[in-house]
Amino acid sequence: MPVYEYRGLGINIPDNDSEYKEYFEAAGDHRLVVRKCLGCGLLRGEPGHGCPWCASLEWEWHEVSGKGTIYSYQIVAHTVLPGFRDWAPYPIVLVELDEQRGQPTPDDGLRITANLLDENMAPEKEENVAIGGRVEVMFMDLENGLTLPQFKLSDEPPQGPVWRHPV
């Protein structure tokens, strides 16, 4: 795969990159995938070959629904990345996906970090972001052929207690 340009940044995904190559190939098909451990069967969303629960190095890609709840978030007020300056202030959300809530312990889950965008692929307004808010994946198809999974607020009512930074 070539080096892709995105907002002035180069995104390099070499053919031997087992961390991200197939992830972006799935995104190109508008599928969101995470790793599934072949040792204990648990899903995980962060990079890395070793399972954080059982240390197994065996895993496969697993498609998920892309539906989840905002577990936490922050507002980026000043970005060090020049390509995102016109976005600031913008939210970054930690999404807890529905597939594995409360596993393997009641405080754990399948969580991934994401941008929260609106229908026009612009950053969601801070006043609309809240812990407990329901989100779903959408796919940003760039003209250069790369597809980026992004998240947007869904129509579903919030789950659990809702909390947001005082604005």
Which residues of the shown chain bind Zn ion in the complex (CB under 5 A)?
A: 37, 39-40, 51, 53-54, 56
Residues contacting residue 71 through CB under 8 Å, at least 6 positions apart: 94, 95, 96, 109, 111, 131
**Residue 18, SS3 per DSSP:** coil
The residue whose two tokens read 């995470």 is 34
Q: Measure the CA–CA gap between 3 and 95, rounded to whole angstroms.
A: 28
Residue nearer to Zn ion on the CB measure, 39 or 158 = 39
Least distance to Zn ion, CB of residue 103, Å: 12
Residue nearer to Zn ion on the CB measure, 103 or 154 = 103
Residue nearer to Zn ion on the CB measure, 9 or 40 = 40
Between CA 125 and CA 135, with CA 131 as vertex, the angle to 5 degrees is 70
Residue nearer to Zn ion on the CB measure, 51 or 148 = 51
Least distance to Zn ion, CB of residue 99, Å: 15
Least distance to Zn ion, CB of residue 56, Å: 5
Q: Measure the CA–CA gap between 160 and 167, rounded to whole angstroms.
A: 21
